[in-house]
Structure 1
Amino acid sequence: MSTTATADGTGITGSGPFDSLREQLRGAATAFAGGPGAVPGILSGMVDDVDRALGEELEIFPVRHHSPASALAMARRLREKRPKVIYMELCEDLLPLLDELRNCRLPVALQAYAHDLEGFPEGSGPLSVIAPITEASAEYQAIAYALETPGVELVLVDRSVDHLFQGELPASAGSASGGSGPGEAGDGDPGGGEAAAEGVQGAHEESAALHGDAVGVEIGDLRPRFAELEEHLLRHGKVRHWSEWWDQYVEQPLAGAGYDTYRQVMVLIGSLFRRLAPAGGDQLSRDEDRERYMWTRIRGHLAQTGGDPAECMYVCGAFHAASRVEEFGLAAPETGFEIAPATATEWLYGLIPSSHSAIEAQFGLAGGSVSIASAAWEKQVAAGGVAPFGLKGQKRKGAGAGRGRGAQAPAAAPAAVTDRLSGFLSSPPAAGDLDEAELLGWCVDIVRLARRNGYTSSTADAIAVFETSVLLAGIRGRARPTPYDFQDAAITCIEKDTVPGRRDVRHLCEILLGGDRIGEVGYNAMPPLARDVFDRLAPLGVSPSKRTVRRVLLDLKADPELEPCSRLLWRLRYLLRDGAVRSITGSLELGERSMQESWDVSLGRDQRSLIELGYEGVTVEQVLEHRLRRSAWEPKATAATALAAVEDALCYLDNPRFTDELGARAVELLAAERTVDDAPEVLRRFRRLLAYYRAGDSALPRWCESFVTAGYAHYCTLLPGAFTDEHSGVRQVAAMLGFLFTLENMALSLGCDRTQLELAVKQSHPEAPAKVALLWAAQTQLGVVSRDELRTRCAELLDNPLVVPAFPQYLSGFVQALSPAPALAPFVVEVMSGAFARLPDTVLLPWLPTLITTLREHAQEMVPVLIREAGRTFPASLPAVDAWVPPWAARPQQPARAAVAQAAPAGPVADLLAENPASCDAVAALLGCDATWPAPDASAGAPGGASAHPEAAGLLDRHPAAAEAVAELIAPTGAPA
Structure 2
Amino acid sequence: MSGKGEGTFDALRSQLQQAAAAFADGPDALEGILLGIVDDVDRAVREPLEIFPVCHHSPASATAMARRLREKQPKVVYLELCEDMAPLLTELRNCRLPVAVQAFATEVDGFPADWAPLSVVAPITEASAEYQAIAYALDTPGVELVLVDRSSDHVFQWEPRDTASAEPADPDAPPAEEEAALHGDAVGVEIGDLRPRFAELEEHLLRHGRVRHWSEWWHQYVELPLGDCDHDTYRQVMLLIGSLFRRLAPGDPRRVRVDEDRERHMWTRMRAHLAATGTDPADCLYVCGAFHAASRVAEFGVHGADTFEISPSSATKWQYGLIPSSHAAIEAQFGLAAGSVSIAATVWAKNLRRTGIRPYRLDGQAGAKKTAAARKTKATGKNATTGTTGAAAVPEPAALSTDRLSGFLQRPPVLDRLDEAELLGWSVEIVRAARRNGYLASTADAIAVFETSILLAGMRDRAKPTPYDFQDAAVTCIEKDSVPGRRDVRRLVEIMMGGDRIGQVGYDALPPLARDVHDRLAPLGLKLGQRGVQRALLDIASRPELQQCSDVLWMLRRLMPQGAARPIMGERRLGERSIQESWDLALGTHQRALIELGYEGVSIEQVLEQRLRRTAYGPHATAATVLETVEDATLYLRSRRLADELGTHALEVLSRERGVDGAPEVLRRVRRLLAYYRTGEPVLPPWIESFVKAGYAHYCTLLPTAFTDEEATVRQVAATMGFLFGMESLALSLGCDRTQLELAVAQSHPQEPSKTALLWAAQVQLGHLSRAELRARCEDLLDNPLVVPAYPRYLSGFLHALEPVPQLADFVVEAVSNAFARLPDPVLLPWLPTLITTLRSDGAELAPLLIREAGRIFPGRLPVLDAWVPPWRDQPGPRADPSAGRAGENRGVALLAAHPATCDAVAGILGCDEAWERAEPGPSGVALLGHHPDTAVALEALLAAS
Aligned equivalents of 2:91 and 2:521: distance in 1?
24
Give the alignment partner of residue 396 of structure 2, picking from 414, 427, 436: 414
Q: Is the 8 A contact 1:812 1:858 kept in 2?
A: no
Cα distance change of structure 1 residues 939 and 396 upon mapping to structure 2, 3 Å threshold: closer
The residue matched to 1:584 in structure 2 has which SS? strand
The residue matched to 1:339 in structure 2 has which SS? coil
Aligned equivalents of 1:430 and 1:360: distance in 2?
29
Return the offset for 1:282.
3.9
- Aligned AA (1:133): I
Give the alignment partner of residue 257 of structure 1, picking from 220, 226, 229: 229
The residue matched to 1:618 in structure 2 has which SS? coil
Cα distance change of structure 1 residues 893 and 534 upon mapping to structure 2, 3 Å threshold: closer
Aligned equivalents of 1:901 and 1:496: distance in 2?
92
Return the offset for 1:104.
0.9
Structure 1 stretch 765-774 or stretch 315-324: which is displaced more?
765-774
Report matched runs for 1:56-95 at 5 Å: 56-95=47-86
Give the alignment partner of residue 158 of structure 1, picking from 149, 153, 157: 149
- Once the two structures are superposed, what CA deviation does each residue of 1:879-922 show, in whole Å capped at 9, x if it has no partner? 4344333222223375799x999999999989999xxxxxxxxx
Aligned to 2:915: none
* Corresponding position: 1:614 with 2:584: no
Report matched runs for 1:663-682 at 5 Å: 663-682=647-666
- Aligned AA (2:170): E
Aligned to 2:506: 522
Aligned to 1:140: 131
Aligned equivalents of 2:569 and 2:854: distance in 1?
36
Cα distance change of structure 1 residues 796 and 435 upon mapping to structure 2, 3 Å threshold: closer
Q: TM-score, normalised by structure 1?
A: 0.85
Aligned equivalents of 1:357 and 1:902: distance in 2?
87
Give the alignment partner of residue 22 of structure 1, picking from 13, 17, 24: 13
Aligned equivalents of 1:902 and 1:140: distance in 2?
100
Q: Is the 8 A contact 2:122 2:188 kept in 1?
A: yes
Give the alignment partner of residue 302 of structure 1, picking from 255, 261, 274: 274
- Once the two structures are superposed, what CA deviation does each residue of 1:325-375 show, in whole Å capped at 9, x if it has no partner? 33333333354x432222211111100111112111111112221112112
Return the offset for 1:717.
2.5
* Corresponding position: 1:54 with 2:45: yes
Aligned to 2:323: 352
Cα distance change of structure 1 residues 70 and 28 upon mapping to structure 2, 3 Å threshold: same
Q: Is the 8 A contact 2:268 2:306 kept in 1?
A: no
Structure 1 stretch 877-886 or stretch 611-620: which is displaced more?
877-886
Report matched runs for 1:839-850 at 5 Å: none
* Corresponding position: 1:890 with 2:881: no
Aligned equivalents of 1:659 and 1:615: distance in 2?
25
The residue matched to 2:114 in structure 1 has which SS? coil
Return the offset for 1:426.
0.3
* Corresponding position: 1:547 with 2:531: yes
Q: Is the 8 A contact 1:808 1:854 kept in 2?
A: no
Aligned equivalents of 1:446 and 1:93: distance in 2?
45
Cα distance change of structure 1 residues 361 and 846 upon mapping to structure 2, 3 Å threshold: closer
Q: Is the 8 A contact 2:703 2:720 kept in 1?
A: yes
- Once the two structures are superposed, what CA deviation does each residue of 1:145-166 show, in whole Å capped at 9, x if it has no partner? 2112223222212121111112
Aligned to 1:6: none
Give the number of the structure whose residues are more often helix, by fraction.
2
Return the offset for 1:462.
4.4
- Once the two structures are superposed, what CA deviation does each residue of 1:242-287 show, in whole Å capped at 9, x if it has no partner? 1121111111111121111111111111111112211225433322
Aligned to 1:532: 516
Cα distance change of structure 1 residues 737 and 548 upon mapping to structure 2, 3 Å threshold: closer
Give the alignment partner of residue 314 of structure 1, picking from 286, 310, 332: 286
Give the alignment partner of residue 39 of structure 1, picking from 30, 33, 38: 30
Return the offset for 1:750.
2.1
Report matched runs for 1:895-974 at 5 Å: 936-938=925-927
Taking only aligned residues, the RMSD between alpha carbons, in angstroms, comes to 3.3
Report matched runs for 1:845-864 at 5 Å: 859-864=843-848
Aligned equivalents of 1:901 and 1:56: distance in 2?
120
Structure 1 stretch 623-632 or stretch 526-535: which is displaced more?
623-632
Give the alignment partner of residue 813 of structure 1, picking from 797, 801, 805: 797
Q: Is the 8 A contact 1:642 1:666 kept in 2?
A: yes
Return the offset for 1:507.
3.0
* Corresponding position: 1:585 with 2:558: no
The residue matched to 1:166 in structure 2 has which SS? helix
Aligned to 1:955: none
Q: Is the 8 A contact 2:48 2:397 kept in 1?
A: no
* Corresponding position: 1:487 with 2:471: yes
Instruction: Quote the sequence identity (%).
Output: 67
Aligned to 2:706: 722
Report matched runs for 1:499-898 at 5 Å: 499-696=483-680, 698-838=682-822, 859-892=843-876
Give the alignment partner of residue 405 of structure 1, picking from 378, 386, 393: 378
* Corresponding position: 1:186 with 2:175: no
Cα distance change of structure 1 residues 743 and 224 upon mapping to structure 2, 3 Å threshold: same
- Once the two structures are superposed, what CA deviation does each residue of 1:360-417 show, in whole Å capped at 9, x if it has no partner? 1111112221112112222222335322222112215697696673632142243321
Return the offset for 1:697.
5.8
The residue matched to 2:320 in structure 1 has which SS? strand
Aligned to 1:332: 304
Aligned to 1:927: none
The residue matched to 2:706 in structure 1 has which SS? helix
Q: Is the 8 A contact 1:936 1:943 kept in 2?
A: no
Aligned equivalents of 2:886 and 2:77: distance in 1?
123
Structure 1 stretch 824-833 or stretch 560-569: which is displaced more?
824-833
Q: Is the 8 A contact 2:63 2:129 kept in 1?
A: yes
Return the offset for 1:133.
0.5
Q: Number of residue pairs matched?
A: 895
Cα distance change of structure 1 residues 943 and 845 upon mapping to structure 2, 3 Å threshold: farther
Return the offset for 1:93.
0.9
The residue matched to 2:296 in structure 1 has which SS? coil
- Once the two structures are superposed, what CA deviation does each residue of 1:283-309 show, in whole Å capped at 9, x if it has no partner? 333222322322232333334434332
Return the offset for 1:514.
2.3
Aligned to 1:100: 91
Aligned equivalents of 2:414 and 2:281: distance in 1?
36
Which ranges of structure 2 fall in alignment gaps of 5 or more residues? 382-388, 897-923, 937-946
Structure 1 stretch 55-64 or stretch 759-768: which is displaced more?
759-768
- Once the two structures are superposed, what CA deviation does each residue of 1:2-21 show, in whole Å capped at 9, x if it has no partner? 46xxxxxxxxx634411221
- Once the two structures are superposed, what CA deviation does each residue of 1:492-544 show, in whole Å capped at 9, x if it has no partner? 44444454443433333333332221111111000011111111222212235
The residue matched to 1:157 in structure 2 has which SS? strand
Cα distance change of structure 1 residues 719 and 658 upon mapping to structure 2, 3 Å threshold: same
Aligned equivalents of 1:397 and 1:942: distance in 2?
120
- Aligned AA (1:291): E
Cα distance change of structure 1 residues 858 and 388 upon mapping to structure 2, 3 Å threshold: closer
- Once the two structures are superposed, what CA deviation does each residue of 1:157-190 show, in whole Å capped at 9, x if it has no partner? 2121111112534325632xxxx5x422516xxx
- Once the two structures are superposed, what CA deviation does each residue of 1:560-610 show, in whole Å capped at 9, x if it has no partner? 332222222222122111412222222222333333322222223432121
Aligned to 1:926: none
The residue matched to 2:583 in structure 1 has which SS? strand
Cα distance change of structure 1 residues 262 and 942 upon mapping to structure 2, 3 Å threshold: farther
Structure 1 stretch 563-572 or stretch 497-506: which is displaced more?
497-506
Q: Is the 8 A contact 2:77 2:144 kept in 1?
A: yes
